[in-house]
Each structure stands twice: as structure tokens, then as C-alpha cells.
Chains A and B, each alone.
Chain A
Amino acid sequence: MAISPPRNRLWWNEPIERVEIGWIVVAFLWGLFMFFFMIAWHFIGGQNLSTETYRIKPPAYEEKVVAFAEKYQVAEEDGTPVVRPPAGEDVYLLARLWEWWPLLELKKGQSYRIHLSSLDWQHGFSLQPVNINISVHPGYEQIITLTPTQAGEFGIACNEYCGIGHHMMTGRIRVVE
């Protein structure tokens, strides 16, 4: 019984059931497969989260974002600049209580180096309805290379709890053909 000591003092020497061995082999191989598939996706897959990260003080990051927004601003919506950077350019996005700033306009099929960081608390970059979700920390600047493959209007929600305005924190990315 599982609630009393094994009767056979040397239970390690008991034979193992065939079913058990068979399943252990299958399960072990499946585990190996899943392990190597993660590694393989770094070579064969198009969706891997970059790990390029730098330490940065929030005010320094804010400066970079403001400079970027001034340089490429094309319009204003809801009181927020709309920024259209040239393809391949460094793009700066700022998370703060409670908005993703500024609004971006990107071109379908072009790659952009998107910088992400927060000015205050942790936030969660959640691009919808694409469903790409990335954590954003204050003090760390992460750079991902993103290539939109669809045109249209996309929203950014915040999915890391960031205080009472968490559910009001949004941003926007417009992708044009």
C-alpha cells in the first residue's frame, strides 16, 4: 500500500512492469523532442523573442523617445503624436501610466527595430489581435526586430497590472500596405 512501508526491503531490485518501461521511453523521447524543438525554432522559425537588452535610466529613455517622435511625427490623434518612421529605422515606444506613447504607423513587410521600456512601473505590451505579449520593465531597454505581416489597425493593451488605470492603458499601431 502506498501508505505503508514497502514490504520488500530491497524494493529497488523489484522488476519493472513492461508498460511502465514502454511509457517511460516514449515520454522521455517526447521530452527530448520538445527540448530540441525550442532550440531548432531559433534557426527555422520566424518568431523568436530577441534578448538584446540594455540598462537605461527612465529619463534618458524618455529623451530618446521624444526625439524620435519629433523627428518622424506626421499627425496627431487623441492628443498623441502619430509617428511614421522610415523602414528599417529604430522605433522607440514608451510605456507609462497609462499609455503606450507615441502612436506608430509602419509599413507591411518592412522590419523595424522596436525599442521598449517603461518610465515608471512594469507594463505588458500586448499587441492585438495579433497576440504578441512582452513584459516591459523600467530601467531596461529591450530591442526587438518586428516585421508586420498584415495591414490594418492594431491595438496595444497593457496586460501587466500597473495600478488603477491599468485597464485604460492602450496604444495603437497602424500598418499600411
Chain B
Amino acid sequence: MAAIDAPYPGSAAAAAIFRTCRFTGLKVDIAAQRLIMANAVAAVVFLAVGGVMGLLVALTRWPAVHLLPSEWFYLVLTGHGANVLLFWIIFFEIAILYFASAVLLGSRIATPKIAWAAFVLMLVGAVMTNVAVFQGDSSVMFTSYPPMQASPHFYLGLIIFAVGALIGVGIFFGTLVIAHGEHTYEGSIPLVTFGALTAAIIAVFTLASGAIILIPTYLWSLGLITEIDPLMYKVVWWGMGHSSQQINVAAHVSVWYAIGALTIGAKPLSEKVSRSAFLLYILFLQLASAHHLLADPGMSATWKIVNTSYLMYLAVLGSLIHGLTVPGALEAAQRRNGYTKGAFEWLRKAPWGNPAFAGMFLSLVMFGFIGGISGVVLGTEQLNLLMHNTIYVPGHFHGTVVAGTTLAFMAMTYYVLPLIFQRDVIWPKLARWQPYLFGIGAAGISLFMMGAGTLGIPRRHWDITLTDAMHPFDLPSGGFLMMGLNGLSAVIAAAGGILYIVITVGTVLWGKRLDKGDAPLNFPLHKQAATVAEYGSHTTVKLPGTIILVSIFFLSFVLYYFVNWKYLSEIWLLR
């Protein structure tokens, strides 16, 4: 190690060893660094496994290709959901939590031994569930709605994984307490850490809901409980299933802010506004779990409306605020960097060749335009009737969790590699293209699945020709076309995904070591990346580019919203 600080004298922290990052000046606890590496590596492995499964699923749903036989299709689809949505995302999020607490606060990580135990639990759980899926008796989709039943170790694996993740979240809170107690920082935690805190808070509710419902379900699969009420299951399960998507939102918004700071020196326009937007997430985002029960019996319209609207769209307000403050912070920073011509010089001359920046910006735009707008429409009580359980739903969430979260995490990786693994990114020319390739593919699968769903194509469905059905009928041919285009986009997304895996693994194994000598980075940091924060608006008050972008977004949102009401008003009457 190039520069190892003397450990703190005579405290509980004496055992912790730090190094100082020569790019950012951040003090990095070596124990935290190893944990971040382990969690990030596990994340990438599960992304690789789950990503291949995603491609197989998409190729099967491409009518002209129809790759897998039906048993395999449902098996692989179950595996795809679990590996990418749970294992890839949550391992990476644990890495982010450790980074945002220990590294950004310059603190030692709380109880590294227990953090390792958490990691092992998560790994064991994830492998156990995968084994159950591949044995073939657990093709129940990752939602595992009863009374359909999986093997006991399918549920047990998920429970063990959730317990491990919950411990990881506890380590994050512990590290906040230590950093505060040992005064490793002054005043309030950084905005990015606050965003991570938001994610962690939502994670506690998420994982607790998961445990509450999966433990009885596990006992039921063992025959110790006779019945699980399907409606009750769905309510509590989505307390986990949807809230975990809200962890993603909080985490990837933090990543946007972090990458903005690292690549172009962006500062939040105002700490107050950005943090209040995160507060709205903490308070209301989790209510959106009700999105999954809008077409179900039994729940009253009042419960549906209050919850599905995140209590009057207050959490959407939070997202809309970030939708302004993130590009606003980028524009303000670029204007300070000297790109002041016209409304968009700041954007044209942004570091588009830096995959971290490009990935972040694509994630921001696509999360807003594709995932965000479709999410609000889908989550509107009555509009949900039009698309519930059609393939529009996977279309929507590939806009959020693939084009949004996954792309943001990929972008972040281009800094995790040099700063944490201390290896320079290999093949910079290829790396430059990776976010575009994956981004275009992800946008494609999202939009084409949404298109097909609008035409009524069902989700999780092996044969939309309905040939073997007892009462066959024709689904619209436009839907078949869309599913074909979806397959094509999936190939592009998979190419981008494979490139990401190859670059990441290659860098970890063979990247130029950065801890010796003073070699520069392939994708340099902004020179002020780690200076002290000051709110960014007082020097640059005019943000014309951001105002134009946000206005376009708002108009698209309003237009798409009313188009769907028009469509709804034309279907059969129903009350």
C-alpha cells in the first residue's frame, strides 16, 4: 500500500488501518475497502448469471426465435428475476452503503467481522435459492405467490439472504454512529451519504416485510402451517418487493450526485432542497407497494388511492425535485468550468467519453422519461386496469431498474475500480462505448415491452400464439412485432452487459495497479472532486438548459398521462 496512515492512537479504532487515496484525498479504511470489493464482486457475478438468463428469456419471447421449451422458460425467468433484482442489486447496494458511510466519512467501518458474516449469509442465501430454482421444483417466479409452492430451500435462501442484507444495513448505521462519535467529519453528513441513509432506512422496512411474510411461507412449505392467505401474502410481500425498488431509487439518485461531483465537480444547488427531496422518499416512497394491488379484490378504493399516490404524490414530488436538481447541479458546475455559451454548451461539451458520466446521464434521462412517467401512469388506480400484468409492467421496470439503477451502478463501477480496487480501467476505448450500448438496449427492451403490453400481450407467458390453448384466439399482430423488436434490443443490451462484465473482471484481474507510482487515471476525476461542499447556486443563478429539459419532460409526462385516460375512457364500462 502506498500511503498508510498511522491508526488512531489509543482508541477502539486502533485496530483499523487506513490509506489515503491519492486521487481524492479520502481516508479509506482497509477493512471497509475489502468488504466493498467482496460485495461488488458478488454483485457482478450475479448480474452475469442473471443477465444471461434475461437474454434467454427475451429470445424465447421473440416469436420468431422462441428459444427455450416452456419448463425451461419459466425456470429461467424465475432465476432471472431473483438474480438481477435481488442479488445483483442488493449486493451492490451494500457496497454503496459501506462506501457512503466508511469511505465518504473517513471513518472505520463498524464491526468488520460481522460485516463479513453478513456477506457470507447473503452469499449462502443467494446460492441456496439458485440451487432450488435449478433443481426445477421452484419455478414460481421470484414473487412466489401462494398457493403455488416452491421447495422449502427456495424460501429459506431468500430469508437467509435478507437477514444478511439486514445485518449489512445495520453495519451502515453502526458506521454512522462511529463516525459521529469519533468526529471523523464536521457538521452534517454529505448529501450522498444522506441519500444512502435514505436507501438504508427504506431497506429496513423492506427486509423486515420480507422476513415477516417469507418465514411463515417457509413453514408452510415444510407443512407446519396449513395455509397462507394469498391476498395477505401479496400485501406484505410487496412491502418488500416494491420497497426494494425504492432502495434502488434512493441509491441511484445518490450515485448520480456522486458521479456529478467526481466527474465535473457538481455541487447540489441547495442542500436544503436535495435533502428534503430525500426526506419525502423516507416518508412516503414505500407506500407505493400498493401499485401491485390495484387490480386485486378486497382492498378499498381509499386504501388504494392513499397508498398508490404515495400520499398525494409527495414522493413523486421528491423524484421530480431530483429531476431538476441533478441536471441543474451539472449545468451549474459546467458553467463554472467555463462552458457558458447558449443554453446547451454545458451539455454538448460534457465528458461524454467518460463512461461514468455518460452512464450517469443516460440513467438520469431514461429513468425519468421511461421508468418514471410509465410508473406514475401504471400506478394510477384506474389506469392500472389497462396494463396490470401485461408485459407493460416488465417494460416499465426495465426502465427503472435496468436503464435507471443498473446503468447508474455500472457507471459508478468506473470509479469503484480505480478508487477502491486501485486498478485502472482496461480497454478505455471499449469502456467508452459500454454505457451507450447497454443504455440503448435497455431503452429498447423497456419501450418495446411497454408497447406490447399496451396491446395486451401478457407477461411471464411462453406462447402468445395460444396454439395449445383450449379456446385459442389471436393477440394483436402489433404485439408480436414489438416482442421481436424487444428480442433485438435484448441482444444489444446483452452485448453491453457482457462488455461491462468483461471490462470489470479484466480490470480487477489485469488492470494497471494504481497504488504504486503516480500513474494518472484513464478517466480522470474533476480536480475539485473532493473539496469541501458549498451550495452551488449562488455563483451561477441562470440554468436555461435545465429549465428547457425539465419543461420537455413535464410536457411529455402530462401528455402521456392524459393519452392513457383517453384510452381508458374507451374501454367497456365497469363499476
Contacts and interface: CB of A to CB of B under 8 A. Distances in A.
CB atoms of A and B under 8 A apart anywhere in the complex?
yes
B559 interface: no
A26 B140 CA distance: 43
B572 A2 contact: no
Contacts of A146: 572-574
A88 to B, nearest CB: 14
A14 B317 contact: no
Contacts of A149: 571-573
B509 interface: no
B273 A137 contact: no
B458 A159 contact: yes
Contact of B295 (A49, A80, A155, A170): A49
B188 A53 contact: no
Contact of B260 (A2, A12, A135, A144): A2
B554 interface: yes
Contact of B460 (A27, A140, A161): A161
A135 B462 CA distance: 19
Contact of B461 (A132, A145, A167): A167
B300 interface: yes
A56 B459 CA distance: 28
A16 to B, nearest CB: 5
A161 B533 contact: no
Contact of A171 (B258, B471, B565): B471
Contacts of B188: 5-6, 9, 11
A169 interface: yes
Contacts of A53: 297-298
B324 A20 contact: yes
A161 B391 CA distance: 12
Contacts of A12: 271-272
A35 B470 contact: no
B573 A147 contact: yes
B376 interface: yes
Contacts of B387: 131, 133
Nearest to B267: A1
Contact of B272 (A11, A23, A135, A154): A11
Contacts of A177: none
Interface in B254-296: 257-258, 260-262, 265-274, 294-296
B102 to A, nearest CB: 13
A46 B574 contact: yes
Interface in A1-51: 1-9, 11-12, 14-20, 23-24, 26-28, 30-32, 34-35, 37-39, 41-42, 45-51
A129 B456 contact: yes
A168 B530 CA distance: 59
B313 A32 contact: yes
A69 interface: no
B229 interface: yes
A86 interface: no
A132 B271 contact: no
Contacts of B498: none
Nearest to B570: A149
B466 A170 contact: yes
B70 interface: yes
Nearest to A175: B572
B575 A2 contact: no
A170 B533 contact: no
A111 B572 CA distance: 10
Nearest to A154: B473
Contacts of B317: 24, 27-28, 31
B216 interface: no
Nearest to B292: A135
Nearest to A150: B572
Q: Which of B147, B258, B387, B554 has the most CB of A within 10 A?
A: B147
A2 B533 contact: yes
B190 A4 contact: yes
A145 to B, nearest CB: 5
Contacts of B325: 20
Interface in A77-104: 77-80, 98-99, 103
B324 A19 contact: yes
A78 B389 contact: no
Contacts of A1: 190, 261, 265-267, 528-533
B422 interface: no
Contacts of A154: 473
B574 A4 contact: no
B471 A47 contact: no
Contacts of A160: 145, 389
B458 A124 contact: yes
A41 B201 CA distance: 35
Contacts of A142: 297-298
Interface string B306-332: 000100111011001100110011000
B345 interface: no
Contacts of A16: 270, 272-273
B476 A129 contact: yes
B2 interface: no
Given A11-B535, A42-B301, A140-B297, A131 B267 contact: no
Contacts of A133: 295, 385-390
A136 B230 CA distance: 10
A92 B328 CA distance: 56
B473 A153 contact: yes
Interface string B113-151: 000000000000000000000000001110001011000
Given A2-B190, A19-B324, A126 B389 contact: yes
Nearest to A48: B575
Contacts of B111: none
A19 B543 contact: yes
Contact of A48 (B71, B382, B455): B382
Contacts of B268: 2
A26 B440 CA distance: 31
Interface in A155-176: 155, 157-164, 166-172
A131 B390 contact: yes
A168 B464 CA distance: 9
Interface string B476-492: 10000000000000000
Given A48-B301, A159-B459, 13 more contacts: A2-B190, A5-B187, A7-B532, A14-B271, A23-B324, A23-B550, A79-B470, A130-B571, A131-B454, A131-B456, A146-B574, A157-B456, A170-B472
10 contacts: A2-B266, A6-B191, A8-B534, A14-B535, A27-B317, A27-B321, A48-B574, A50-B575, A140-B298, A159-B461
